Structure formats: structure tokens, C-alpha cells
Amino acid sequence: MFIRALYTLLLATASPLLLFGLYRRRPNKPEFGPRWKEHFGLTPPLAETGKQQPIWIHAVSVGESIAAIPVIKAIKKNHPEQAIVVTTTTSTGAEQISKLGDLVEHRYMPIDFAWCVRGFLKTIKPSAMLIMETELWPNTLATVHQANIPVVVMNARLSERSARRYAKFQPVFDMIAVNLDHLLCLHRDDADRFAQLGIPPERLSVTGSVKFDIQIEPALIEQSQRLRQQLGESRPVWIAASTHNGEDEQILEAFNTVKQQHPESLLILVPRHPERFDSVAELCQSQGLSCVRRTLAQDVEEATNVYLADTMGEMLLLMGAADVTVMCGSFIGDKVGGHNMLEPAALAKPILTGPSYYNFADITQQLEAAGALEVCHNAGEIGERLSALLSDPAECKRMGEAGCEVVKNNQGAVAKTLAVLDQQLAGPNR
């Protein structure tokens, strides 16, 4: 109790800065508008939910929202009358959930004060809380647990480094863990680390990653093909996906190497955060590159060097139009730890990534072992490997097929997840 009180005091002290960062207006970032009140527990009631209480799924932002979609669709397929409310913290995450239409209702996640969470629970009255990945807020978990609402963590992962950090502050971890009913872990190693920190084995299951259960819709393939026609079917096209500050310069340096062998090549550049769209466009122009922005619907000409994807939620479409994917978030030390490599793998695209991929170590290692992915350490290596791959369609095809095989061999996590959820949610709270 003392630890949580101290945490709440620290959160109250830091909350003005946290809220400033959340609400600060940034270019191309969706506005919260009057819905900011939802962060404080002033949550509008749901539409008619029928006889069943809603399941509450929390996905903090864009990546988690996309990962949650297969689970959401599977729950609705098995239980069409089940109401689902999805919370996100960010407005970009909300934008992703809005694409599900009437399948779910969206609300913003209350901030981690007990009174905010109680306001949300009083209005929504969820039967269970499902958390995508390890977005674990102490006051939220305690308040939900006290309301006798089961809490299940999906896609739970715990790296060796994070486990060591938690072990140094075991009472803090214990404060969180006591409020978790079940953890659906990515791998046996994750479950073992949670067990070493004190989670009872009966509260741990290994289901694999629902991200492997990605489904590539035929309509998306057609859209990608149409985009490729606009970009140029005969020219080499590669994509730098989810770049962070400090990586765009490296990507453009690699592009200079690629252009020496493939002067007609086109780079699809996808910044991770919308507030960076304008600055990345300016960076391209400052280096003398002809840059076309997707939102402006400009024609892509032979002289165009960079196609700037200044949109959100279109990564699969954009990757489908490219020959090779460079997955970023992995070239700036240990700040980010990489991004999910499964989307290009499912699309049968060869993958290059940087050396910092600790958040997706297992996926990356599986793809590398299969020959579907290569690790590059700097802009020079990126440029050299891209030049070689863009000259070798047969090797691109081989790597792409190997990536597809890895994805197929790991699928089934959604079915395993639903099987455990049905058991966990079959109690008196349902």
C-alpha cells in the first residue's frame, strides 16, 4: 500500500508534463477534441450492449491496436452478441480502432488514478479487462481487481533485461502481479521469467504471438498492385518502414549508394510518428531529392526519388508495393529496439534490419535463421545489401518465401488465446 501511495504521489507530480506531451498539438496528429475528458474517467456510456457486459480491451497506441484486431475479430466471430469496448491512450491508436467500424466501440483510457478508473468502470461495467502486451498501470490494475473484474494480459513478453530490472525492484513487481489473473505469454522463455519473478505457473500460458496470425486480404494485394503501377512497375522500389529521428539521414545515405547502381530506384519513406512528416519532407528536399507526399496525391514521375508516406495505418499496403523492406527503429542504438518484422514476412518481402531489435528478438532470429532477413549495422551495409537484392529478383523471391514459411509455421496463437480466454472468462463475472 505504501509503495502504491508513493507511486501515486510521483504520478501526480509528473502528470502535468505527461498530459502536456499527450495533448500537445503536433503536425498531422489527430486531435482529441472534447473527448479529452475521457482520460479523467468522464466516459460516455456505450450504445445498447444487449444482455452481456462488454469485454474491455486496452491497446495503448497504433502497434498494439493493430495487434489486437485479429483477437477482436475472432471474439466477435465466436460470440457475435458480445459487446467490446477498446481503449487507447493515444489519438493515433484511436484512429486505427475506428477502422473496425461497428465491430467495437472506442473510448480513451483513463489515466492511472483510481478515481479516474472508477469513473470508467461505473459507466462501462466491463466483465473483463484484456490488455494487449505489457501496458501495466498499478492503480488501474488494483482498481479493476478490487471491482472483481478479471485481468488477462495478451502477447505478454518479458525480456531478460526487463526481468533483471524487475528483480531489482521486486516489491514493485509484486504490487502489479497480484492483480493479474492470467498472462498469455509469447514464448516459454517469457513464461519462465515471469515465473522466476513469482507468478504462479497456473496463471501462465504460452500461446505464441497473435501477430503471427496476420491475414493478408486479397483486396489489400490489389491495392498494393495499383499503388505499384502508380510508382512505376519496372523501377526498383524499396521501403524504409517506421523511421525514427536520427534514422532518416542514414536511410538517405544508403539511398545514395543504391542510386549508384540503380539510378531509377524509388524509396518509400515511412516516418513512425506523424509529427515528423513535415521535417522529413524538408530533409529530403534539403538533400536535393525529389519528394512526393502521399497525402497530396501528386503524380510520381521518373525523376521522383522519394515517396513520403505521410499517413497512418497503411504499412501493409505500402510494403506490398515495394521489392525490399528495411525495418527501422533498429539503427539508433537501444532507444527503440526494433519493430515487428512479421508484416513484410507475411507479404513475402525480403527484410533488412538494424542491430538493435531486442523487442522482437525471437521473431528476428527465426527469420534470420530461415534466410528471410539480414542484419545491417550501418548505412553503408544497408546500401550494399539493397543494391545486391534489387539486382537479384530470384534471391528476393527466395527470402520472401522463407519469411512466409516462418509466419505460417507460427500461426495459431489467436485460437490458443481464445481457448484460454474462454476458460478465464467463464467464471461468475461473465
Candidate list 31, 38, 48, 64, residue with the active-site label: 64
Looking at per-residue confidence, does 262 or 159 come out higher? 262
396 pLDDT above the threshold of 60: yes
Using the predicted structure, report yes or no on whether residue 256 has a pLDDT greater than 70: yes
Please tell me the CATH code under which domain 10-208+412-424 is placed: 3.40.50.11720
CA atoms within 13 A on the CB side of 401: 6
Q: Distance (Å, rounded) from C-alpha 91 to C-alpha 22? A: 9
Average pLDDT over residues 97-118: 93
- The dihedral through the CA atoms of 317, 321, 325, 331 has a sign that is negative
Is residue 81 over pLDDT 80?
Answer: yes
Burial of 270 (0-12, 13-18, 19+ CB in 10 A): buried
pLDDT recorded at residue 135: 79
Residue 315 has pLDDT above 60, yes or no: yes
Query: Average pLDDT in the 15-38 region?
Result: 83
Position of cell 495459431? 412
Give me the pLDDT at residue 132, please: 92
Q: Which H or E run contains 118? A: helix 114-124
Q: What is the pLDDT of residue 420?
A: 87
**Section 295-322 average pLDDT:** 93
Rounded average pLDDT over 157-175? 89
What pLDDT is stored for residue 430 in this prediction?
41
- Which single residue is written with the C-alpha cell 461495467? 125
Mean pLDDT value of segment 80-109: 91
Task: With cut-offs at 50, 70 and 90, classify the pLDDT of residue 295.
Answer: very high
Q: What is the share, in percent, of the chain residues with pLDDT greater than 70?
A: 97
Give the architecture-level CATH label for domain 218-409: 3-Layer(aba) Sandwich (3.40)
Angle between helices 170-177 and 160-168 (to 10 degrees): 100
pLDDT digits (tens, 9 = 90+) for 33-69: 899 999 999 999 998 655 578 999 999 888 888 889 8
Decide whether 10-208+412-424 matches 218-409 in CATH topology.
yes
Domain positions in the chain are: 10-208+412-424, 218-409
How much is the average pLDDT of 258-270? 97
**CA-CA distances (angstroms) from residue 190 to 150, 203, 226, 355, 413?**
21, 13, 41, 21, 15
**Number of neighbours of residue 262 by Cβ within 10 angstroms:** 17
Residues whose CB is less than 8 angstroms from the CB of residue 254 and which lie 6 or more positions away in sequence, other chains included: 326, 379, 380, 382, 383, 386
Average pLDDT, rounded, for the chain:
91
Which residues have CB under 8 Å from 279's CB, separation 6+?
A: none
Instruction: Determine the average pLDDT of the residues in 103-113.
Output: 94
- Taking residue 374's Cβ as centre, other Cβ atoms within 10 Å add up to 17
> 191-223 pLDDT, tens per residue?
999 999 999 999 999 998 888 888 898 999 999
Catalytic residue list contains 64: yes
Give 337's Cβ-side CA count (13 Å radius). Answer: 9
